[in-house]
Amino acid sequence: MQLIHSITDLQDTLAQARNTGKTIGFVPTMGALHEGHASLVRQSYKENDITVVSIFLNPTQFNDPKDLQRYPRTLEADCQLLEQCGADIAFAPSVEEMYPEPDTRTFSYPPTDTVMEGARRPGHFNGVCQIVSKLFDAVQPDRAYFGEKDYQQIAVIRRMTAHLGLNIEIIPCPVVREDSGLAMSSRNTLLTPEEKAIAPNIYHILSQSKQLGKTVEETRQWVIDNINAIPGLEVEYYSIVDGDTLAEVQDWAQAPSIVGCITVYCGATPIRLIDHIRYR
């Protein structure tokens, strides 16, 4: 595996592959890689000739400077994991390389980027679009792989890709869970053992809510009440939405795909955990 830091070196290397007709799969990450990322890299490895993984902690998508500061940084371990999963190139640019000057572009895809995380983390999806569009430009992949854990992010990136007219297939990959049911996330390493013990309740309660036979609003409230009843967990929001547009639904028959998206504060720090469940 090659470790590349500059866009020019990356493009030179990829031009050789592209000229010989090779397909390029791309997995964008912010590092602190875990089994969830590994599953994306393995899927790209199976479906493409070359797999590029970017490792870049993108400052423009953090609306809370403390969140950026405490985000885990583990480049050496990340590269070891990527080698094992079959990645060909790890692209780890500096902030100056990606942002030689401030990026003033704005992206707007309502309601996809204005609800849920979009409403609570102003500028977050704009920062995601800024960096993903720059990375797409640098890598020019045939396919790009994103974890479904960040369900809303994939919906926003789909809109951006269509809006920019990019010929890139966006491939959503299933959430990878720890044995406990907790969705894998780089932020899980920040949880204390006590917090790690209560956090899986989020997924268990979401799963139980599929069997309730209640209305949408009753189900939403049931999930919130049951999670809030666990000391150390506090729901920030729980939205039951159309799985494509992310607009809230009032009725189970309202859309062909319905998903519940949740954000929960866990512990004293607190750590913000996100998850989702598919109802239909």
Q: Is 274 in the site for ligand PAF (CB under 6 A)?
A: no
Backbone CA torsion sign across 42, 43, 44, 49: positive
Secondary structure class of 61 (helix, strand, coil): helix
Give the pairing type, strands 233-242 and 258-266. antiparallel
Q: Which residue type occupies 47?
A: E
Which token pair is 41? Answer: 């890299």
190 neighbors 269 (Cβ within 8 angstroms): yes
Q: Please identify, using beta-carbon distances, which residue of 132 and 206 lies nearer to ligand PAF.
A: 132
CB of 15 to ligand PAF, least distance (A): 23
Give catalytic status of residue 124 as yes or no: no
Taking residues 21 to 40 in sequence order and writing x for each that binds ligand PAF by CB under 6 A, - otherwise, the string is -------xxx----------
Q: Please identify, using beta-carbon distances, which residue of 159 and 220 lies nearer to ligand PAF.
A: 159
Question: How far apart are alpha carbons 270 and 23 in whole angstroms?
Answer: 42
In the numeric block, the tokens 């000057």 are attached to 101
Q: Please identify, using beta-carbon distances, which residue of 30 and 205 lies nearer to ligand PAF.
A: 30
CB of 105 to ligand PAF, least distance (A): 15
Q: Which residue type occupies 149?
A: K
CB of 174 to ligand PAF, least distance (A): 15
Secondary structure class of 163 (helix, strand, coil): helix
Q: Is 176 in the site for ligand PAF (CB under 6 A)?
A: no
Catalytic residue among 37, 124, 163, 204: 37
Q: Please identify, using beta-carbon distances, which residue of 58 and 219 lies nearer to ligand PAF.
A: 58
Strand ranges across the sheet with 258-266: 233-242, 258-266, 271-278
Q: Is 150 in the site for ligand PAF (CB under 6 A)?
A: yes
Taking residues 95 to 134 in sequence order and writing x for each that binds ligand PAF by CB under 6 A, - otherwise, the string is ---------------------------------x--xx--
Q: Is 58 in the site for ligand PAF (CB under 6 A)?
A: yes
Biggest distance spanned by C-alpha atoms of the chain: 59
CB of 61 to ligand PAF, least distance (A): 6
Give the torsion through C-alpha atoms of 45, 48, 52, 54, to 10 deg.
Answer: -80
Residues that bind ligand PAF (CB under 6 A): 28-30, 58, 61, 128, 131-132, 150, 153
Task: Give catalytic residue positions.
Answer: 37
